[in-house]
Chain A
Amino acid sequence: MAENTEAKIGVFVCHCGTNIAGSLDVKAVAEYAKTLPNVAFAADYQYMCSTPGQNMIKEAIAEHKLTGIVVAACSPRLHEPTFRIATKEGGVNMFRFEMANIREQNSWVHMHGMHDEATAKAKDQVRMAVAKAKYLEDLVPKSVPVEKAAMVVGGGVGGIQASLDLASAGIKTYLVEKAESIGGRMSQLDKTFPTLDCSQCILAPKMVDAGRHPNIELLSLHEVENVEGYIGNFDVTLRKKARGVMTPVEAAAKGIVGGGCNGCGDCTAVCPVVKPNAFEFGMAPRKAIYINHPQVVPLIYTVDFNACVKCGLCVEACGTKKAIDLDMVDEFRTVKVGTVILATGYDYIPIEEKKEWGYKRHENVIHSLEFERLICASGPTGGHLVRPSDGATPKSVGFVLCAGSRDNTGGVAKAYCSRFCCMYSLKHAHQIMEKIEGCTAYIFYMDIRSFGKAYEEFYYRIQNEGCKFIRGRVANILEDPETKNLHVFAEDTLLGRPADFELDLVVLAAAIQPIEGANPLRKKFGVSASADGWMLEAHPKLNPCGTTTAGVFLAGVCQGPKDIPDTVAQAEGAASAASIPIHVGQVELEPYFAQCMDELCAGCGMCVNLCPYSALALTEKNGRTVMQVTEAKCKGCGTCGGFCPGGAIKMQHFTTPQIVAQIDAYLMGGQ
């Protein structure tokens, strides 16, 4: 591949308003570009991404017969597609476009008093881009078909909504839920703010719909084991955890006529094992064969094999339905889907690690999800809020906001705002004042963040109902050893006085964090995490549902703290985004594939094992063993190309001559 001495490169330097022009001399950069070999045209412009800016490119291609385009502007993550299309519309192959990032990698990091150095660096960047542009080649994106099926991982309200949307759009959807039934956190809540709808009442219809939608295959007690493939063609291996109980369909498949679990509950009645109920945070007992609550979807019982003593009483009770199989083992299956939505939700931080508030040390300090269960009619106390220490009805309850949120001390604490604690604590205050005559709610807060629709009005309402708002973060909580009352120490910062509140019950609005399995799961899909630990969206504003892995989308709290309205909205957005490639039916892959130059390949096969994407194989061609790339699987990472002892692997768009030209251009300063 010889240097294209005939290359005619056009260079366009963007001001980006003052984003770039404020920190370096764009005109000098453009003038400098004109002096570079093969540059046929160079100019600067206020906003290259604007329509006039793009037209400049097209006009210059026509006028100067350009063969390559360099734009020195922002990050290619933002406007590479824009300029590629302009290049294409100008009549040049869009892969003959190269971008020099003189904003994120230059002006923004050299903003103060480094004008000359920044200009010099921009010249270096343009010179390198021009050097590469000379070697750019025509490439054609590869088109691959998209499997007309989607997967949603996580069966909370976000995952349910996304699944319903996808399924209703005619797409076969696998709804994968690791727990026994769907519903997630929302199924544990009593009421929802600010409307005070019963959580189960509004969620249950959606759960039922998800359970019976012909396009949804509900896979509860399933986990993602392995992921292969790429957008349009993900092969996802699922682990079906041993439930110990068969559905009617599973029973029928085993030839048990009219068998399988019908949810009658006869098994639970006879089970002799009693363990703490995890769904109720240990505040109620649970048998070793159980369902979490009356509205579960799917209505199939589950055996807790950690608790089960295999006495067989349940098997007897089940009788001819023969639904229970105490020897059941995990099974695996692989499904092919075109796109994936992750909706894995959240957990509380281990709030007991914030020792000053005494959770797990003081009996009457509980967290907000425990409060939800205690105030819920289907909860362990039938909706009667009681103190764990003595079962008494509390007459004064404190709510500790920002319990581990907005906290920069590290450890279990989180620097971010958990975003829904203010609102649910207002709701909790309302609930106790409504349910318990004469009970006073004290909300200890730093700021009340009631930013959603009808939220501020809700705050007004709760204050009007008599809730006392104490503007001060709780310093520590001590327990009276005899009464088990709590002394909450804080400063009322508005009074400017330290305070000692003796309260019957304290509820910690604990910070939230990604669920335990979130990290391994996202890694299987190649999804990154942001610094705060949540899954990273493709762009925080303009692509909030997408990820950097094409075909993988995010919904709900797994991407960052969100309340129910925001979660559902994002779920619908993610479903829409995930359905696009499926409806289009095919996707274009960037042609950054490895290519084997057969004449140089010795067929050693070392690259085959190195490839992290299983994209390479050995094959016979013209009587020789050579390597062959499955282009759709190749991500263009370059591992094989960098290793190949014979230099037989070419990385398209990142060829050795292109890279070397860039390095030379930098080191030799344009000489």
Chain B
Amino acid sequence: MAAKSYDNPELNKKLADQRYHISQSNPQFTKDVIKTSRTIANMCYQCGTCTGSCPSAPRSTYRIRLFMRRNVLGLENEALTDPDLWLCTTCYSCTDRCPRDIAPTDVIMAMRNLAFKKDIVPRNFLQTVQLIYNSGHGVPNNDVNRAARKRLGLTADPPTTHMYPEYIKGIQKILDHFGLKENADRIIKGE
């Protein structure tokens, strides 16, 4: 069936075909999710135990069951561009209760990984990468805290990369191996 094309763009939008077409599915997406998540993500039977367990669901439109469905059908674009993808707190309640022995949480994590490959990622996630690249810590030390540490008889900086910055080089090498910092910088810059 030929695609609809009315002269009026508003009508085109309002009357756009809402049906699911097989052509929207990307079977490779399902395979990639299974590989990255290391869980049997294709085995979902849509019982809703996950959403029923989810602390994010009652206060948002996030439905983990919907993401599981998108995975089964290979609806890559729909899954990766949905901002709800980033509302999972990774509490793993769904994973503990899933009767199919799937880890839906890990499916979400895998989808986030795949989204990142398409430069879809909220800024705060990238900032964590930058902080770790520079200091080794996602939440680095500060002066108020240094003073408090000394008061407690601790060293001003903890015996981590903060006290031993020579270790930061190794961390940077690991991150550079994957081009992670570069990607984070590029995506932030491009915004």
In chain A, positions 458-474 with a C-beta closer than 8 Å to chain B are 471-474
Residues of B within 8 A of A475 (CB): 48-53, 93, 97
Query: Which residue from A408, A410, A499 sits with its C-beta under 8 Å from B52?
Result: A499
**Chain A's nearest CB lies how many Å from the CB of B55?**
10
CB-CB contacts of B35-47 with A at 8 A, as 1s and 0s? 0000000010111
Residues of A within 8 A of B179 (CB): none
User: Is B97 in contact with A408, judged by CB distance below 8 angstroms?
Assistant: no
How many chain A residues have a CB neighbour from B under 8 Å?
24
Asked whether A493 is an interface residue with its Cβ less than 8 Å from the other chain, the reply is yes
User: Is A356 in contact with B97, judged by CB distance below 8 angstroms?
Assistant: yes
Residues of A within 8 A of B53 (CB): 475-476, 489
Instruction: Give Cα A409 to B49, complex, Å.
Output: 13
Instruction: Give Cα A436 to B52, complex, Å.
Output: 29
User: Is A473 in contact with B52, judged by CB distance below 8 angstroms?
Assistant: yes
How many chain B residues have a CB neighbour from A under 8 Å?
22
Residues of B within 8 A of A498 (CB): 51-52, 54, 57-58
Nearest-CB residue, chain B, relative to A496:
B63
Nearest-CB residue, chain A, relative to B47:
A473
Query: Which residue from B49, B66, B93 sits with its C-beta under 8 Å from A496?
Result: B66
User: Is A473 in contact with B48, judged by CB distance below 8 angstroms?
Assistant: yes
Asked whether A179 is an interface residue with its Cβ less than 8 Å from the other chain, the reply is no
Instruction: Give Cα A34 to B93, complex, Å.
Output: 65
User: Is A409 in contact with B65, judged by CB distance below 8 angstroms?
Assistant: no
Asked whether B98 is an interface residue with its Cβ less than 8 Å from the other chain, the reply is yes
Residues of A within 8 A of B93 (CB): 475
**Chain A's nearest CB lies how many Å from the CB of B58?**
5
Asked whether A352 is an interface residue with its Cβ less than 8 Å from the other chain, the reply is no
Query: Which residue from A473, A476, A490, A500 sits with its C-beta under 8 Å from B99?
Result: A473
Asked whether A25 is an interface residue with its Cβ less than 8 Å from the other chain, the reply is no
Asked whether B101 is an interface residue with its Cβ less than 8 Å from the other chain, the reply is yes
Asked whether A502 is an interface residue with its Cβ less than 8 Å from the other chain, the reply is no
Asked whether B100 is an interface residue with its Cβ less than 8 Å from the other chain, the reply is yes
**Chain B's nearest CB lies how many Å from the CB of A515?**
24
Residues of A within 8 A of B65 (CB): 491, 493
In chain B, positions 42-82 with a C-beta closer than 8 Å to chain A are 43, 45-54, 57-58, 63, 65-66
In chain A, positions 488-512 with a C-beta closer than 8 Å to chain B are 489-493, 496, 498-500
Asked whether A446 is an interface residue with its Cβ less than 8 Å from the other chain, the reply is yes
In chain B, positions 89-127 with a C-beta closer than 8 Å to chain A are 93, 97-101
User: Is B47 in contact with A408, judged by CB distance below 8 angstroms?
Assistant: no
Number of A-B contacts defined by CB within 8 Å = 69
Instruction: Give Cα A498 to B54, complex, Å.
Output: 8
**Known contacts A496-B63, A498-B54, A498-B57; is A408 also within 8 Å of B49 by CB?**
no
Residues of B within 8 A of A473 (CB): 47-49, 52, 99
Instruction: Give Cα A406 to B49, complex, Å.
Output: 13
**Chain B's nearest CB lies how many Å from the CB of A471?**
8
Instruction: Give Cα A492 to B49, complex, Å.
Output: 10
Instruction: Give Cα A473 to B50, complex, Å.
Output: 9
User: Is B99 in contact with A491, judged by CB distance below 8 angstroms?
Assistant: no
Asked whether A225 is an interface residue with its Cβ less than 8 Å from the other chain, the reply is no
Residues of B within 8 A of A499 (CB): 52
User: Is B101 in contact with A491, judged by CB distance below 8 angstroms?
Assistant: no
Asked whether A413 is an interface residue with its Cβ less than 8 Å from the other chain, the reply is yes
User: Is A489 in contact with B99, judged by CB distance below 8 angstroms?
Assistant: no
Asked whether A402 is an interface residue with its Cβ less than 8 Å from the other chain, the reply is yes
Asked whether A407 is an interface residue with its Cβ less than 8 Å from the other chain, the reply is yes
User: Is B45 in contact with A491, judged by CB distance below 8 angstroms?
Assistant: no
Residues of A within 8 A of B49 (CB): 472-475, 490-491
**Known contacts A475-B53, A498-B54, A498-B57; is A493 also within 8 Å of B48 by CB?**
yes
Residues of A within 8 A of B43 (CB): 408
Query: Which residue from B48, B58, B99 sits with its C-beta under 8 Å from A407?
Result: B99
**Chain B's nearest CB lies how many Å from the CB of A65?**
58
Instruction: Give Cα A410 to B100, complex, Å.
Output: 10
Instruction: Give Cα A406 to B97, complex, Å.
Output: 13
User: Is B101 in contact with A409, judged by CB distance below 8 angstroms?
Assistant: yes
Instruction: Give Cα A489 to B94, complex, Å.
Output: 12
User: Is B101 in contact with A472, judged by CB distance below 8 angstroms?
Assistant: no
Nearest-CB residue, chain B, relative to A498:
B57
Select the residue from A402, A473, A499 with max chain B CB neighbours within 10 A: A473
Residues of B within 8 A of A356 (CB): 97
Instruction: Give Cα A498 to B58, complex, Å.
Output: 6
Residues of B within 8 A of A471 (CB): 48
Residues of B within 8 A of A490 (CB): 48-49, 52
**Known contacts A446-B47, A498-B57, A498-B58; is A489 also within 8 Å of B52 by CB?**
yes
**Chain A's nearest CB lies how many Å from the CB of B99?**
4
Residues of B within 8 A of A407 (CB): 99
Select the residue from A475, A493, A499 with max chain B CB neighbours within 10 A: A475
**Known contacts A446-B47, A491-B57, A496-B66; is A474 also within 8 Å of B99 by CB?**
no
User: Is B66 in contact with A472, judged by CB distance below 8 angstroms?
Assistant: no
In chain A, positions 425-468 with a C-beta closer than 8 Å to chain B are 446
Residues of A within 8 A of B99 (CB): 402, 406-409, 413, 473
Instruction: Give Cα A409 to B102, complex, Å.
Output: 9
Instruction: Give Cα A413 to B100, complex, Å.
Output: 11
Nearest-CB residue, chain B, relative to A488:
B52
**Known contacts A496-B63, A498-B57; is A491 also within 8 Å of B97 by CB?**
no
CB<8 Å pairs between A and B, sample of 29: A356-B97, A402-B47, A402-B99, A407-B99, A408-B43, A408-B99, A408-B100, A413-B99, A446-B45, A472-B47, A472-B48, A472-B51, A473-B49, A474-B52, A475-B49, A475-B93, A476-B52, A476-B97, A489-B52, A490-B52, A491-B48, A491-B49, A491-B51, A491-B52, A491-B57, A491-B63, A492-B48, A493-B48, A496-B66
Q: List 13 additional contacts besides A409-B98, A475-B97; criterion CB under 8 Å.
A: A406-B45, A407-B99, A409-B101, A410-B101, A473-B52, A473-B99, A474-B49, A476-B97, A490-B52, A492-B48, A493-B47, A493-B51, A499-B52
Q: Please list the 6 inter-chain residue pairs (A to B) with the smallest Cβ-Cβ separation, ordered nearest first.
A: A475-B52, A491-B48, A473-B47, A491-B51, A472-B48, A407-B99
